[in-house]
Amino acid sequence: MIPVEVVRKELREAKIIEVTPDLYRAVRSFVESSTKPKYSWNTGIKSGNTIMFIKPNKWELTVDLSIRIPEQLECPIWLRSLLQTWKGIHICFKKEKDPIYNRDVINMYVSFDPLHEPVKFESLDDFNLYLYSIYSPVMFARHITLHEIVQKINKFVDLEKYRAELEKVLTEQQVATA
């Protein structure tokens, strides 16, 4: 094997997280499902402040439209297997202090397992999203990066706009208390 020292640029180690076969199959079905409007899973079902996109017997993507400024990590967007309801891929938001500008901002995270630290991402093409992938030892499995998952979720709900709406409310609250 050629020694890694031949590479002149910085390297970061990929992180592969093994998930249950049910969750893996649901996520793979989700990222590989067609986005054509003719399929039922591309039409949301609205109930109160919640919208659900459902691929029968496979997965459900739930979006909570309630506006709450997340002091702690809040995960209003959730992709889960319909066979295993307690685990899934979560898009989370949290109010934090920007270290450069010293102001409150809303940061985005992906959480996919309570045992692993949520992965922070600044944009939909953030490098951190490429570093992590999920995997399960099922037949014909492939690694699915968090980038691929986040990009597909973004086809259902505009994550940047969701964060912008939270930041707008945060700014209004700050102006009202100033």
Residue count of the chain: 178
For the entire predicted model, the pTM comes to 0.92
Choose among 152, 177, 174: nearest CA to 89: 152
Instruction: Quick: pLDDT tens for 80-91.
Output: 999 876 678 999
Cα atoms in the Cβ-side hemisphere of radius 13 Å centred on 158? 6
Q: Which whole number is the average pLDDT over 27-52? A: 96
Distance from C-alpha of 159 to C-alpha of 155, rounded to nearest angstrom: 9
Confidence bin at 163 (pLDDT 50/70/90): very high
Q: Which whole number is the average pLDDT over 14-27? A: 92
Backbone torsions φ then ψ of 176, nearest 5 degrees? -65, -30
User: Which region holds residue 57: left if phi is over 0, alpha if psi is between -120 and 50, else beta?
Assistant: left
- Using the predicted structure, report yes or no on whether residue 127 has a pLDDT greater than 80: yes
- Using the predicted structure, report yes or no on whether residue 66 has a pLDDT greater than 70: yes
Q: What's residue 86's pLDDT?
A: 66
Q: What's residue 87's pLDDT?
A: 78
pLDDT-wise least confident of 9-23, 35-49, 103-117, 130-144: 103-117
- Using the predicted structure, report yes or no on whether residue 148 has a pLDDT greater than 90: yes
